[in-house]
Amino acid sequence: MLHMDSRDYNEAASDAAARARVKMQETIDVGRASAERTIATVMRDVPQDMLVRARALDVNVSNGHVFANLPSTGSGTQHSAFSSHAFGQLCAKAGVPLAYARELLASGAWGEALLAKALRDHLANGPDEKQLVRLVGGQVRGVLSDSYKRLDSRPLVEAFCGASQEAGLVPVMGHATETRVALKAMLPVVFEPAPNEIMAFGLEWENSDFGAGAHSCRVFMLRLWCTNFAIAERALRQVHLGKKMDDVGFSSRTYQLEAQAQASALGDIVRGALAPERIAAYCNVIAAASVDKIDAGRELAKLKALTKGERTEVAEAFNSPDVEMMPAGNTMWRLSNAISWVAQKADGEDRRLELEKLAGDVLPCKAA
């Protein structure tokens, strides 16, 4: 259902905009299902938490996987595998270089035995600090400090969806990985900040329950000719850093109250982030970036966040004769779209999101 509130937006009325509305509706129709799946995943995959002393982490390695014997909710222990992300966190806690640990893990039985011993010895002889171990479905998804601030994603996603609907936004995309979750909702209005540059704007909410990123809400831009996304501006960012937990049971008494407070703040941000004056400011950014000439090689060299392969792909896209998937001209706007075009082919959803953020960061200024 498309719902619009009473805000006064100047919707583009050109022939190009009329054609772009069809593309926008296709994007909405295709993306709604992924958003619904993401919401269902958030509601289903609720982390189970326990505090474990570092020296009490009983680690085993077999068949290419790392396991921990952890207390179960009943009697005895549960044999829990580490996700790739949690394995990296475990190595960092133990002081074992991750590259070396991965090499041992891939070296067969002798490597696995050596890795298990290295992890046990380092944990047994290092600081005996409390670790917040977070599990989903019996899998260890996070090994975190006991000062990690847990933000329940369930009330947060409900707040984002509810406030988005109030603001007239509709869901267009969602993804959930072992480490993070993200949702996009878009204002179903088209804008034309430069000739034949047909844009839509929306918000992306993101959270990681496992230390893979901050809780954030960002404005995004969508170029409707090619459905290139770029993150335009960060409206909210909260690092998961709180007070140390005496025990998980005590922390749970304030857990829900903190989540409710964050959900309320998120709702306020969603309702105000795409006000007409802010949309106008974003359009001004695009208009300027679409005419200002750049030295693409020099600008690309500044982008240290790109891998060597990604930099090559962005350069090829920028220098190609394509003027449909990317805007014409030797401009920063074209470079931004070249990055977001490469993002669509990224290795994994998490990397795609990082490249979309970079595509927004290269633009010359932010909306006021």
Q: How much is the pTM?
A: 0.79
Residue 52 and residue 38 share a domain:
no
Q: Which of 260, 291, 322 is the last residue of a domain?
A: 291
CB 226 within 8 A of CB 217: no
Q: What is the pLDDT of residue 35?
A: 93
Question: Which residues, listed in sequence order, are joined to residue 67 by a DSSP beta bridge?
Answer: 60, 81
Residue 173 lies in a domain: yes
Whether 104 and 162 share a structural domain: no
On whether both 206 and 131 belong to a single domain, the answer is no
Q: For residues 54 and 93, is the Cβ–Cβ distance under 8 A?
A: yes
pLDDT interval class at 68 (50, 70, 90): very high
Encode pLDDT of 123-136 as tens digits. Answer: 999 999 999 999 99
- 127 shares its domain with 191: no
Tell whether 187 is covered by a domain.
Answer: yes
295-307: average pLDDT: 92
In angstroms, the CA 28 to CA 5 distance is 18
Same domain, 25 and 162: yes
Q: Which of 111, 145, 179 is the last residue of a domain?
A: 145
In a domain, 6, yes or no: no
* Number of domains making up the chain: 2
| Domain-embedded: residue 303 | no
Q: Which of 47-56, 152-161, 193-202, 250-259 has the lowest mean pLDDT?
A: 250-259
Among 145, 176, 210, give the residue marking a domain's end: 145
Report, in angstroms and rounded to the nearest whole number, the Rg of the chain calculated over CA atoms.
23
Q: Which domain holds residue 286?
A: 15-42+152-291
pLDDT-based confidence at residue 2 (cuts at 50, 70, 90): very low
Residues 97 and 179 grouped into a single domain: no
Among 35-39, 41-45, 176-180, 324-328, name the one with the lowest average pLDDT: 324-328
Q: Say what the pLDDT of residue 4 is.
A: 43
With CA atoms as reference, report the closest residue to 129 among 87, 85, 95: 95
Q: Same domain for 161 and 259?
A: yes
